[in-house]
A and B are shown apart, each in its own frame.
Chain A
Amino acid sequence: MAGDKHPNYFMIFVGLAVLTGIELFIAGFSWSKTLIIVTLLALAIWKAIMVALYFMHLRYEGNRLRIFVLAPLPLTVIIVIAVLTEYVW
């Protein structure tokens, strides 16, 4: 982005607020528990990605920094999945 052209931060903000509203709305639905959880998680991750891409401007960073940032993410999943298998044998 060139000095005077910023991403439209206000629109990102509106997007985040609207998605939060949708989440609150969906949480009240009488869908199956699993469906609600999956939908809510997807929305939350969408919001998180928007924050990372635009507010933390990862979208405009080089690949080397992105790799650095993404590297620890698998570790967050490994431990949770491994321990969850304790319950399913």
Chain B
Amino acid sequence: MATSAPPMDVAHAGSPEHDLSFIRKYIFSTDHKIIGIQFLLLSLMGLFMGGLMAMMIRWQLGFPEGLMPLGNLLPETMVSGGVLLPEFYNSLVTMHGTFMVFFAIMPLLVGVFGNYLIPLKIGAPDMAFPRLNMWSYWIAFIGMGIMLAGFFVEGGHSAAGWTQYAPLSSNPEFTGVVTGQQLWLLSIAILGLSSILGATNYITTVVNLRAPGMTWFRLPLSVWSLFITAILVLLAIPILSGAAIMLLFDQTIGTSFFDASNGGQPILWQHLFWYFGHPEVYILILPAMGMVSDVIANGSRKPVFGYHSMIYAIISIAFLGWIVWGHHMFQSGMNPTLGMTFMISTMFIAVPSAIKVFNWMGTMWRGNLTFHVPMLNAVAFVAMFVIGGLSGVFMASTPVDIYIHDTYFIVAHIHYVLFGGSLFALFAAITFWYPKMFGRMMNEFWGRVHFALTFVFYNMTFWPMHNLGLGGHMRRIYDPSQYEFLQPLAGTNRFISISAFMLMTVQMIFALNFVISWFKGKKAPNNPWDDNGLEWTVSSPPPHGNFAETPTVYRGAYEFSSPLVEEDFLPQDRKLEGDGG
């Protein structure tokens, strides 16, 4: 870890590409662009698996009495005679959350776009530590392999929820899962190492490898948010790793950290988990916000409104994000006075998010809105994130939280933020940078169809979950028909399930568009969206080493419709009269 790599510019400048074998170029590559694409393929696979698990969960909730279609394809320990078993249901709930958070959204945002965009956007030839970057990917790959292996071991996969509350998770007696649980913890600890290495790399790169003229306040917001996110990853992930290792020791070598009968503290797990978990929430949304800012400015043909307040909002979110974790634990038996403090800090953290929403609207105000597919998804992000943000106010109010905590209202909230928020932003980002990544355009028509259908079915799926929650519907229950007060909600549950199946189905449009465009898409020009960023000044895809010569930057990334030039965009590296060297 402390070995010194040769200075990057020396290693890359003019290193001829044909020197590298296929394996060095595409498998064990140290090129940040290849690693980004590797992360993209891996995490899209994670996203797909997380989605499939969600479908099984929705089947069980929508049709608790029905026999699951294709259920006979799964082993008897999961689905028996067409009936999804409760132990498998608990595993599904756990692994849906785990996959979506750790193996889909987080690597998509941080692993893919952190890798792909940071060096290109700051004008660097590669990351500061390319070999470390390669390790970061392969360690994540191993982590995912271990996580997947959990499905095939005796006793099934971890069934303690993605939050792994001790002692349900620490004592195998309580769930009947031994190996699966240990694999879960091992996988998360390994993934943590990958994230920390990645974050170290991103931070160093942004601090030290910016092109001349790329000052802090000329950085695109996507880079700013990825930089702040990397700091959050760097400081939050070791907390999870440490706690996961303690839990793993409770399972394997007989320690008693979370075992109340031997002097341990079950609530300590919750504190540690959420001390990691709340910064994690922002890890899952900040890069989305940054990339959406880029796309909205481009689609509006206007500079980002309040660029500086956007940055200050990101920074204050990163600070406040560390002192609000207790709002996940209002009903956990935590000291109620502490709960009061957390409620107030939580109220404050809503403010920077509100500022960002208003600034996005300000950006669109009096713009010349061009609705290409990325812009459609980015605007949907804003619209959906608003809903997720507003529903958060209910939970922040501790008395209201007494009622809605651990109900589907929370499920609706998290999906409005993570799916409506992060995932729409990812659709925007993937479609926006796809031409740069693969050198081909994605199909515009099918992109629009995918967007429209996703938007409709997404809202049909998650909006009614608010109402389920207000009816008192608990999370993570296998069979709601057990309760009289939930029986009137069976119709809503069924409606949600059918919408969810449609939602999953229309994602196939995206998958096909992604794959077919890779081979058959229209050749992409260098700058298909008339954008200002440095990545658009090089070929699509960019060559190894990115820039033939280090670019010089003269202005910020959002000089759209500037009065200085005829066109409505002004690239960052274009020298105008009067620009100093």
Direct contact of A and B (CB under 8 A): yes
Taking a contact as CB atoms closer than 8 A, the residue among B235, B326, B335 that contacts A89 in the complex is B335
Taking a contact as CB atoms closer than 8 A, the residue among A72, A78, A85 that contacts B323 in the complex is A78
Tell me if A11 is interfacial: C-beta within 8 Å of chain B: no
Instruction: State whether A82 touches B235 (Cβ < 8 A).
Output: no
Chain B window 401-423, contacts with chain A (Cβ cutoff 8 Å), 1 for yes, 0 for no: 00000000000000000000000
Closest B residue to A65 using CB positions: B207
Smallest beta-carbon distance B275→chain A, Å: 5
Taking a contact as CB atoms closer than 8 A, the residue among A75, A82, A88 that contacts B326 in the complex is A82
Chain B residues, Cβ within 8 Å of A72: 235
In the complex, the number of residue pairs spanning A and B with C-beta atoms less than 8 Å apart equals 26
Contacting residues of chain A (70-89) with chain B, CB-CB under 8 angstroms: 72, 75, 78-79, 82-83, 85-86, 88-89
Q: How large is the interface on B (under 10, 10 to 19, 20 to 34, 35 or more residues)?
A: 10 to 19
Instruction: State whether B235 touches A85 (Cβ < 8 A).
Output: no
Q: In the complex, what distance in Å separates the CA atom of A85 from the CA atom of B338?
A: 8
Instruction: State whether A79 touches B275 (Cβ < 8 A).
Output: yes
Chain A residues, Cβ within 8 Å of B267: 86
Q: In the complex, what distance in Å separates the CA atom of A76 from the CA atom of B337?
A: 21
Chain B window 292-333, contacts with chain A (Cβ cutoff 8 Å), 1 for yes, 0 for no: 000000000000000000000000000000110010000000
Instruction: State whether A82 touches B336 (Cβ < 8 A).
Output: no
Taking a contact as CB atoms closer than 8 A, the residue among B235, B239, B268 that contacts A83 in the complex is B268
Taking a contact as CB atoms closer than 8 A, the residue among A75, A78, A79, A85 that contacts B335 in the complex is A85
Instruction: State whether A89 touches B337 (Cβ < 8 A).
Output: yes
Tell me if B509 is interfacial: C-beta within 8 Å of chain A: no
Contacting residues of chain B (335-369) with chain A, CB-CB under 8 angstroms: 335-338
Q: In the complex, what distance in Å separates the CA atom of A75 from the CA atom of B238?
A: 12
Smallest beta-carbon distance B472→chain A, Å: 29
Instruction: State whether B338 touches A82 (Cβ < 8 A).
Output: yes
Q: In the complex, what distance in Å separates the CA atom of A59 from the CA atom of B235?
A: 24
Smallest beta-carbon distance A89→chain B, Å: 5
Tell me if B334 is interfacial: C-beta within 8 Å of chain A: yes
Tell me if B271 is interfacial: C-beta within 8 Å of chain A: yes
Chain B residues, Cβ within 8 Å of A88: 335
* A75-B235, A78-B322, A78-B323 known; A86-B272 Cβ under 8 A: no
Instruction: State whether A86 touches B322 (Cβ < 8 A).
Output: no
Smallest beta-carbon distance A86→chain B, Å: 5
Closest B residue to A89 using CB positions: B335
Smallest beta-carbon distance A64→chain B, Å: 9
Taking a contact as CB atoms closer than 8 A, the residue among A75, A79, A86 that contacts B338 in the complex is A86
Taking a contact as CB atoms closer than 8 A, the residue among B271, B334, B336, B337 that contacts A79 in the complex is B271
Closest A residue to B337 using CB positions: A89
Chain B window 265-286, contacts with chain A (Cβ cutoff 8 Å), 1 for yes, 0 for no: 0011001100100000000000
* A75-B322, A82-B326 known; A89-B336 Cβ under 8 A: yes
Q: Quick one: which of B271, B334, B335 has the most chain A CB within 10 A?
A: B335
Chain A residues, Cβ within 8 Å of B334: 86
Closest A residue to B267 using CB positions: A86
Closest B residue to A82 using CB positions: B338
Closest A residue to B270 using CB positions: A83
Smallest beta-carbon distance A22→chain B, Å: 31
Chain A residues, Cβ within 8 Å of B323: 78
Instruction: State whether A86 touches B235 (Cβ < 8 A).
Output: no
Chain A residues, Cβ within 8 Å of B275: 79
Q: In the complex, what distance in Å separates the CA atom of A75 from the CA atom of B321?
A: 11
Q: In the complex, what distance in Å separates the CA atom of A88 from the CA atom of B239?
A: 24
Q: In the complex, what distance in Å separates the CA atom of A85 from the CA atom of B268?
A: 12
Smallest beta-carbon distance B419→chain A, Å: 30
Instruction: State whether B235 touches A79 (Cβ < 8 A).
Output: no
Taking a contact as CB atoms closer than 8 A, the residue among A78, A79, A85, A89 that contacts B272 in the complex is A79
Q: In the complex, what distance in Å separates the CA atom of A85 from the CA atom of B323?
A: 14
Chain B residues, Cβ within 8 Å of A86: 267, 334-335, 338
Q: In the complex, what distance in Å separates the CA atom of A75 from the CA atom of B323?
A: 9
Closest B residue to A74 using CB positions: B322
Smallest beta-carbon distance B210→chain A, Å: 14
Q: In the complex, what distance in Å separates the CA atom of A89 from the CA atom of B334?
A: 10
Q: In the complex, what distance in Å separates the CA atom of A83 from the CA atom of B326?
A: 10
Q: In the complex, what distance in Å separates the CA atom of A85 from the CA atom of B339?
A: 11
Chain A residues, Cβ within 8 Å of B335: 85-86, 88-89
Q: In the complex, what distance in Å separates the CA atom of A76 from the CA atom of B190?
A: 23
Smallest beta-carbon distance B425→chain A, Å: 27
Smallest beta-carbon distance A36→chain B, Å: 23
Contact surface of A with B, Cβ cutoff 8 Å: 72, 75, 78-79, 82-83, 85-86, 88-89
10 contacts across the A-B interface (CB closer than 8 A): A72-B235, A75-B322, A78-B323, A79-B239, A82-B271, A85-B338, A86-B267, A86-B334, A89-B335, A89-B338
Known: A75-B322, A78-B322. 5 other contacts (CB 8 A): A72-B235, A75-B235, A85-B335, A86-B338, A88-B335
Question: Top 4 A-B pairs ranked by shortest CB distance?
Answer: A89-B335, A83-B271, A79-B275, A86-B335
